[in-house]
Each structure stands twice: as C-alpha cells, then as structure tokens.
A and B are shown apart, each in its own frame.
Chain A
Amino acid sequence: MLILHCPYCGVDAEETELHAGGQAHLTRETVGSDDEAFEDYLFMRENPKGVHFERWRHASGCGKWFHAARCTTTLEVFGTYSAQTTAPPREICDAISGKRPGWSWKTFSARMFS
C-alpha cells in the first residue's frame, strides 16, 4: 500500500487515509484567459510514465492538501512537500535527479507549461 508522509502533521499516512487530487502545479486560469489556456488547465494532463507531481489530501487526518513527487511506474516516492508553492523545493528536485540521472525540473516544467 502506498504510504505518504504528511508534511503538515507529520503522520505517515496509508493510501486509505488519503485522497488523491491529481496533477500538481497547474496554472489556474481565470477571467481573461483564452480557450486554449482553459483547455490546458481543465483537461490536458502530463500523465507521464515516470516522475509525477501530485496533490494529495490527508483526508482522514489533518485534512490538509499537500504535494507529493512519485514515480508512476515503480511507485517510488521521492518526497512530499507543502502545497504553498508553485514549484517543488530544491531537496525534492535533487532527490529525483539523484535517482533518475538526467532528470531536471527545468526540462520537465518547460514541457508542462509549454
């Protein structure tokens, strides 16, 4: 079973205590954005085979939303971090690059926000 560390209350929560909230770091479009931007925000997803950033809610715990960096093929968890950010923190990116040589947030996000 998937176990994620809640960065707010410090509990190692099992999957059944958590609620998955989909891809993280989406740009929230609003009034004035064009159709393409809305399509991206509402429907288009990275859906990568490999490193993925996600939102999770500690539903049966402290109730807070946090972010996780995970591998979708091995289910390895690279780390979890606060949701009050627009990009993953340095340590998380370093942890991923250490385990997936050649990976960088810069190239990943360039694709994501293209």
Chain B
Amino acid sequence: MKRYSAFAIAREAARYHTGWERAWRAPEPQKKYDVIIIGAGGHGLATAYHLGKNHGIKNVAIIEKGWLGGGNTGRNTTIIRSNYLQDPSAAIYEKSRSLYETMSQDLNYNVMFSPRGVMMLAQTQHEIRGYQRTAHANALQGVQTEFIGPQKVKELCPIISIDGPRYPVLGALWQARGGTARHDAVAWGYARACSDMGMDILQRTEVTAIRRDGGKVVGVTTTKGDIDCDKLGIVVAGHSGHLADMAGFRLPIESVPLQALVSEPIKPCMDVVIMANTVHGYMSQSDKGEMVIGGGTDGHNNYTQRGSFHHVEETVRALIETFPMLSRLKMLRQWGGIVDVTGDRSPILSKTPVDGIFINCGWGTGGFKAIPGSGWAMADLMANGRSPLTDAFGLERFREGRFIDESVAAGVAH
C-alpha cells in the first residue's frame, strides 16, 4: 500500500494524478478463511482490522451484500460522544472516542474527526436532574463532561433561542471532546487497512445461509457459493434478526428505520453538535455547510430504509422552536437506515448458542461513535473467547436481568 501524505499529493499533482492506486482489492472468495465477518459496515471492518492488528489473525474475509459502508455506517449523523450513564457503557464508548482521536494517523486515512464538542440540552427539570446525575457518573468513570448553564449554552451556540416559549433551555450536559467524523471515510479507511493486511473484502456477496455441523459453525452459503470458516462474526446491525434466524437462534432485537435529513448548504453558523432530547431532534453543521438533522424512529418494525414521512415534520417543527433560523432553510434530502434496537438500549457483543459464532449488534440508533472501540473489543472476544470490554454485554444478560439501561441516559436517537 502506498502511504497517503502531503508528499504523495505533490508527487501526484506533478504527474496528473496517474499514480494513485485502488484503495482496496476486489478479490474472488477463497474456499476457506480462519474468520469470516458478515457485514462490511464500520463495526465489521473495525473488528477485522483489530483481529489483524491486535491479534495477528489475518486470514479473514469480510462479506458484504451491498457496498462497504452502505448500511447505517454511511447513513448516520456521525455524532461521537461517550457521556453515557452506566459503567460498562462508559468503558467501551470512551475507549472508542479515544481511538477516534488517533484514527486518521493509525489508518493513514483522513477520517476528519472533529472534536468540536457535543451538548445535550436540558429543557425540563427532569432533564436537569438526569444530566447532573450523568455528569457525576462520568466524573467517577473518568469521562470528561460538565453540566453548564443556559448562558454558557448561548455563548457556545449563538443561533440557539434559550427562552423558547414551550421548552426554554435550562442548561446542558457538555462534552467538549465529543464531536463528529466523516462516516464514509471511517469505513473506507478501515477497508483500505484490512485489504492491505491481506484480508478479502467481498462486496456484492450476500450470505443466504449459515452452515453448521451439529452445534458448531462450519461456514456460510453466499450468492458466490459456499465459503468455510472456523469462526464467524455476525455484524449486520438491522439485519441481525434475519442472520440469527439463519444460524438457528433468536435475538432480543427489533429493527426499525431511523431517519435523518440535511438542509441546503449555508455559511458556517454552528460549530458544536446539539442534541435536544425533549423535543427529539439533534443537529450539527457539515463541512459542506448543510445542517445535518437527525429524526425519529418508526414505532413499528420494518426494513424500508426510508421511514414514515410524518417524522420529518415532527422533527423540523420541534427544532424550529429552539433554532428559529431553521425556518428559512430548504431541506435537501432525507433518508433512513435500519437500526437494531434492544430492550435496554445497549449493544450485544457476545458468544451465541452456536459454537464459533459471535455476534455484535444492538447498537441501534447510536453505534457510529462506538465503531473503533467495538471493533477492538469484538476482536478480543473472537480471538480470546472473552474481553473485559464485552463481559457485561453478553446475550445472557436479558435472562439474568443484568440490563445496562441506557434508555434513560439516551432518550433520543443518535
């Protein structure tokens, strides 16, 4: 792999950009791999990357039915934060956030990580108490957050109206080191690094069956034929229920579309990420200038990757109260992704009832921020059979009642 650098740009500029090579290979499948990962989203690619990087396991295929990063990884609003309430969450999300800080250097790929600060608005008394509690919990966990007052909110984000008629801004949970990153670049950067380690990324290859020998996995059937493996990682977000069904077990997961939309591009007007959970909307400004707005999830299961129309109206109506300037903007595009929601709103990183099959899912509406940490932990789990970062996130927690309840802390999709 030729490294990207300022020197490389100068060199290519001098020769009409004829020397750039493909970022990753497009191989044909081999008969067998040590490890197969299903799903070339951020989590699948990061898992493969860390299997190679941290554990020296490089005979790996990543199988993707569409194009890499074409699932939720390429459809999300890219908020990165680690201000969760429960200790196991703080551990994995903070690991993840810290890995984002060096990701561009580690991958030699500019993922445009922008730690511009994330603020979660408190617009009710209940939220003030909730976020103060989270700030205290974060202090104990070593996650840097603070509860700030309305004047500070206004200072950090002048376009906000803090004395809105219905939901005045009463304060906010502020994580200065949170931010955003370029979602596609995260997938592309990992893909390039995986391919460079000799791993095969098989795009436009759908897994249609999982083959077992008694209680143990032996391989998968795909639209390009049978491929064998010793270990299998299922990392398919919204499609987890479908794949688990192929493997012969059930999951505590339901799949629903989550939507986002963007406005026409405008001049820079907001350099922080804002989440307003009471009115259910969140927003940041992209480098292109579009206001990136996250919306709601459908209440009913479906796989349509677009979501119900009325959420657009609800989201925009709610945000306009807090950001009056939005009422003058045209909205350009809307889309959806199928998110995998668990009962306690926390992910599942776990062994499964089938020997050799591991699953990483349930990140639901908020797993972009978790990509590097989840890949790190999942690789550890697959290589060693357990990992301190995944111990609390096993499938058995539902039967045992050991929930990692983040529904209160999150409250909104992001």
Q: Which of the 9-residue segments A13-21, A79-87, A89-97, A98-106 touches chain B?
A: A13-21
User: Which positions 254-306 of chain B face chain A at CB distance < 8 Å?
Assistant: 254-255, 298-304
**Chain A 7-37: CB-based contact to B (< 8 A → 1; otherwise 0):** 0000000011001101100000000000110
B343 with A42: CB separation less than 8 A: yes
Question: Is B135's CB within 8 Å of the partner chain A?
Answer: no
Residues of chain A with a CB closer than 8 A to B301's CB:
47, 52, 54, 72
CA distance A99 to B299 in the complex (A): 25
A43 with B252: CB separation less than 8 A: yes
CA distance A56 to B300 in the complex (A): 9
Nearest CB to that of A71 among chain B residues?
Answer: B302
B399 with A35: CB separation less than 8 A: yes
Q: Select the residue from A35, A39, A73 with max chain B CB neighbours within 10 A.
A: A39
CA distance A39 to B398 in the complex (A): 6
Residues of chain A with a CB closer than 8 A to B343's CB:
42-43
Residues of chain B with a CB closer than 8 A to A35's CB:
399-400
A6 to chain B, nearest CB (A): 15
Question: Is A110's CB within 8 Å of the partner chain B?
Answer: no
A47 with B308: CB separation less than 8 A: no
Q: How many residues of A contact B (CB 8 A)?
A: 28
B300 with A20: CB separation less than 8 A: yes
A72 with B399: CB separation less than 8 A: no
8 Å CB contact of A22 from B254, B398, B399: B254
A2 with B254: CB separation less than 8 A: no
B254 with A47: CB separation less than 8 A: yes
Residues of chain B with a CB closer than 8 A to A52's CB:
301
B308 with A15: CB separation less than 8 A: yes
A45-B252 CB under 8 A given contacts A19-B299, A52-B301, A72-B302: yes
B366 to chain A, nearest CB (A): 19
A1 with B308: CB separation less than 8 A: yes
Query: What residues make up the interface of B, taking CB atoms closer than 8 Å to A?
Result: 239, 241-242, 245, 250-255, 298-304, 308-310, 342-343, 398-400
Selected A-B contacts with CB under 8 Å, 12 pairs: A2-B308, A19-B299, A20-B298, A43-B342, A44-B250, A46-B250, A54-B300, A56-B300, A72-B255, A72-B301, A73-B303, A75-B304
